[in-house]
Amino acid sequence: MRPVTMFTGQWADLPLDTLLAKVKAFGYDGVELACWGDHFDVRACLADDGWAKRHWALLRKHGLFCWAISNHLTGQATCDVIDVRHKSILPAHVWGDGDPAGVRRRAIEEMKDTARAARKFFDAAPPEVKERHAKMGYVAVNGFTGSPIWHLLYAFPPCVPGQIDAGFRAVGETWKDILTVFDRENIEWALEIHPTEIAFDIASTRRTLEAVGHHPRFGFNFDPSHFGYQGVDYLGIIREFGDRIRHVHVKDSWWSDVPTEAGVFGGHTEFGARGRQWDFRSPGRGRLDFEAILRALNHAKYQGPLSVEWEDPMMDREAGAAEACAFVRRLDFPTSGRAFDAAFAEGKR
């Protein structure tokens, strides 16, 4: 059975020690550590030779493991059109003076350092973690790339010839550079296919892979909650890109079958507002077919953690996180190495 973990990104308001006690009580096997709050400090891991060992000791004190770290927020700034919004999500040393070119340059270096820190951290991991990584065949860092062309999505005013191609090309050049370090450190990159990223559906994911030259280190964090409300075939993503899925988020979403006040673009409303066409839901409370998702992941031979990224604007997060863990445990099942009717043939021998 695959380990069930919880992504700590939405819980970064809590000190890690406090959060880990809750995660254990919720019933999880471990955590997917976010590189913000005090949950995973990239610079400290690289600068202090004892940091990784102490961090593992803290995890083990609570009976928990970790199989992946995530740096979505800094990754967003590597290719985005930088504005004042980014200041609230970036480390102070990455934001600096806020000059866009400088922010992107520092974000790129921070993502390279994230690969180095991941290697150092997981080299210090306990045997149980290394055994799972060996079964998976890789160690992954998850996150975002941002996009220099997301603001052109609706294509009005009309895009000039070559404008979209140039955006994909810029992301490809940036990430091929970053991936040289991932390759050197033997770490996989897992982009979360997600609105506001360069890859947000099947078509844009194909173009992204072309832009990075189908780099062997460029994989994906599969989060199905981002596709159903768009009208994207989320099972099709697994079928087409399953050999590059390096991590999985378990998160649900709901969308309306009838016209609403705020459509798929959200109408500048807050999550959870009345009249929205879609919203995130606690796993099992939305419209995603998780049974089909798990079976598709089995066909793709995915052996990594099932990581709950808990988001539901109408539900208490602690109640929801505990319920989600139980939901995922009921959902997963061991695969069989033989056909269910093999005994018939064996009985004839």
Q: What confidence category does residue 345 fall into, taking pLDDT thresholds of 50, 70 and 90?
A: low
Asked if residue 185 lies in contact with residue 119, where contact means CB atoms within 8 angstroms, the answer is yes
Distance CA 257, CA 31 (A): 35
pLDDT per position as a tens digit, 226-256: 999 999 999 999 999 999 999 999 999 999 9
Asked if residue 201 lies in contact with residue 233, where contact means CB atoms within 8 angstroms, the answer is no
**Considering the chain, what is the average pLDDT of its residues?**
96
pLDDT at position 69: 98
pLDDT at position 347: 60
Q: Is the pLDDT of residue 5 over 90?
A: yes
pLDDT at position 344: 63
Q: What confidence category does residue 81 fall into, taking pLDDT thresholds of 50, 70 and 90?
A: very high
Percent of the chain with pLDDT over 70: 97
pLDDT at position 336: 78
Distance CA 286, CA 343 (A): 39
Structure-token match 């970053």, residue found: 178
Q: What is the mean pLDDT of residues 60-69?
A: 98
- All domains of the chain, ordered by start, with CATH? 4-346 (3.20.20.150)
Beta bridge partners of 66: 31
Asked if residue 60 lies in contact with residue 129, where contact means CB atoms within 8 angstroms, the answer is no
Computed over its alpha carbons, how large is the radius of gyration of the chain? 20
Residue 301 Rama label (left phi>0; alpha psi -120 to 50; beta): left
Q: Is the pLDDT of residue 54 over 80?
A: yes
pLDDT per position as a tens digit, 273-298: 999 999 999 999 999 999 999 999 99
Asked if residue 178 lies in contact with residue 78, where contact means CB atoms within 8 angstroms, the answer is yes
Q: What angle do CA 239, 245, 251 make, to 5 degrees?
A: 90
Both tokens assigned to 167: 């955006």
Angle between helices 16-26 and 317-331 (to 10 degrees): 50
Asked if residue 87 lies in contact with residue 98, where contact means CB atoms within 8 angstroms, the answer is yes
pLDDT at position 346: 66
Q: Is the pLDDT of residue 339 over 80?
A: no
Beta bridge partners of 31: 6, 66
Both tokens assigned to 26: 């919720």
Q: Tally the residues of the chain.
A: 349
Q: Is the pLDDT of residue 90 over 90?
A: yes
Distance CA 154, CA 222 (A): 25
Helix (H) or strand (E) holding 241: helix 234-241
